[in-house]
């Protein structure tokens, strides 16, 4: 039998699990061979503080915010918080940032913030709207700076300034298009496109009862104008949750590996499996079952 190289894979955990369960899931994720754990900031725990604590529960796993919306923290506070996690984890932080609510100039501010943080973590000083940004701690290495991207301007911006881009609710074909846009942005900025990691959230409804939660999430996102446009551009009816689920999710344990392979073939360097749980509250058992089903071989 010819050995094949292990493909990078990450996990996202969204729900507010009791701390012993969350810590246990992080250890399980690391032990199963995943490359990274992403925590979206959705109004439960402070994501950066949580990652600082999980740094003590893990030794190898990369720890990522997926993502922190810029309006939630000043650039100075972002630098302090990120430096704390980077120091505590021994250099394992991925600081994922997003614009937050759509507003005029939000994307420009995102690019400005990434560049300011890069300067600060490189030992210098950046500035956002006149506010100086410095790294308050000596670090083993700068944290990686990623941005969330939905439309073409954001994906090109990732190529121009970021270490990685995090896509969401995408078909494999959309990933391929984003890869081209990232490369265009990188070349325009004189950067190597290969220096930008392309990651994509892939929701996984693989345990009993999770289909209802997946359907509800598809309907919710289909009601947001920006995502409705993306679904339509991908040939999916935003009002048809079953079509959206079939297009962008893992819904069948028997074909989960094949679907993840399709994302990789389209250019995703790091699929991030996002467990969808049965409705009714966080279930560590359901999350663990999903993790074990998709764990790297």
Residue ranges of the domains in the chain? Answer: 10-219+247-294
Q: 141, exposed or middle or buried, with CB in 10 Å at 0-12, 13-18, 19+?
A: exposed
| Alpha-helical segments (H) within the chain | 19-31, 47-55, 75-89, 106-121, 152-161, 172-188, 210-222, 225-233, 241-248, 256-265, 284-294
Place of tokens 């969204």: 14
Q: What is the pLDDT of residue 266?
A: 98
Q: What is the pLDDT of residue 3?
A: 40
Predicted TM-score (pTM) of this structure: 0.96
Cα–Cα dist 242/217, whole Å: 11
Cα–Cα dist 231/143, whole Å: 32
Both tokens of 63, joined, read: 């720890």
Q: What is the pLDDT of residue 5?
A: 61
Q: What is the pLDDT of residue 257?
A: 96
DSSP state at residue 254: G
Any idea what the Cα angle at residue 42 is, between residues 275 and 72, rounded to 5°? Answer: 145
Q: Looking at the domain that runs over 10-219+247-294, which CATH code has it been given?
A: 3.20.20.30
Both tokens of 256, joined, read: 């989960």
Could you write out the DSSP letters of every residue in 102-122? Answer: --TTHHHHHHHHHHHHHHHHT
pLDDT tens-digit series, residues 44-64: 899 999 999 999 999 999 999
Both tokens of 290, joined, read: 């999903």
| Alpha-helical segments (H) within 234-283 | 241-248, 256-265
Both tokens of 8, joined, read: 């990078």
Q: What is the pLDDT of residue 53?
A: 98
**Residue 18: Cβ within 10 Å count:** 10
Cα–Cα dist 40/57, whole Å: 19
Whole-Å CA distances, 216 to 205, 220, 240, 242: 12, 6, 11, 10
Say how many CA atoms lie within 13 Å of 93 toward its Cβ: 36
Contact 250, 201 (CB under 8 A): no
DSSP state at residue 141: S
Q: Which residues of the chain are modeled with pLDDT < 50?
A: 1-4
DSSP element (H, E) containing 65: strand 62-65
Average pLDDT over the chain, rounded to an integer = 95
């Amino acid at each position: 039998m010819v050995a094949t190289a292990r493909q990078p894979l990450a996990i996202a955990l969204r729900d507010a699990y009791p701390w012993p369960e969350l810590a246990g899931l992080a250890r399980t994720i690391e032990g199963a061979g995943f490359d990274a754990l992403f925590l979206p900031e959705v109004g439960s725990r402070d994501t950066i503080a949580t990652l600082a604590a999980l740094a003590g529960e893990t030794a190898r796993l990369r720890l990522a915010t997926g993502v922190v919306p810029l309006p939630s923290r000043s650039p100075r506070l972002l630098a302090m918080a990120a430096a704390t996690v980077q120091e505590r984890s021994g250099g394992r932080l991925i600081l994922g940032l997003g614009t937050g609510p759509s507003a005029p100039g939000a994307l420009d501010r995102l690019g400005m913030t990434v560049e300011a943080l890069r300067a600060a973590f490189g030992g210098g000083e950046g500035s956002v709207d006149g506010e100086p940004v410095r790294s308050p701690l000596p670090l083993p290495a700068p944290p990686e700076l990623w941005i969330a991207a939905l439309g073409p301007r954001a994906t090109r911006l990732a190529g121009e300034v970021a270490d990685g881009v995090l896509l969401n609710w995408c078909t494999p074909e959309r990933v391929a298009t984003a890869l081209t846009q990232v490369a265009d942005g990188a070349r325009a900025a004189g950067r190597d496109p290969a220096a930008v990691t392309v990651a994509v959230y892939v929701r996984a409804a693989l345990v009993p009862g999770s289909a209802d939660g997946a359907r509800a999430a598809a309907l919710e996102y289909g009601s947001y104008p920006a995502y409705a446009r993306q679904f339509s551009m991908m040939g999916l009816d935003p009002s048809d949750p079953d079509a959206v689920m079939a297009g962008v999710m893992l819904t069948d344990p028997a074909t989960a590996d094949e679907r993840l392979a399709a994302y990789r073939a389209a250019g995703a360097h790091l699929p991030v499996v996002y467990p969808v749980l049965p409705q009714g509250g966080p279930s560590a058992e359901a999350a663990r079952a999903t993790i074990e089903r998709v764990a790297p071989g």
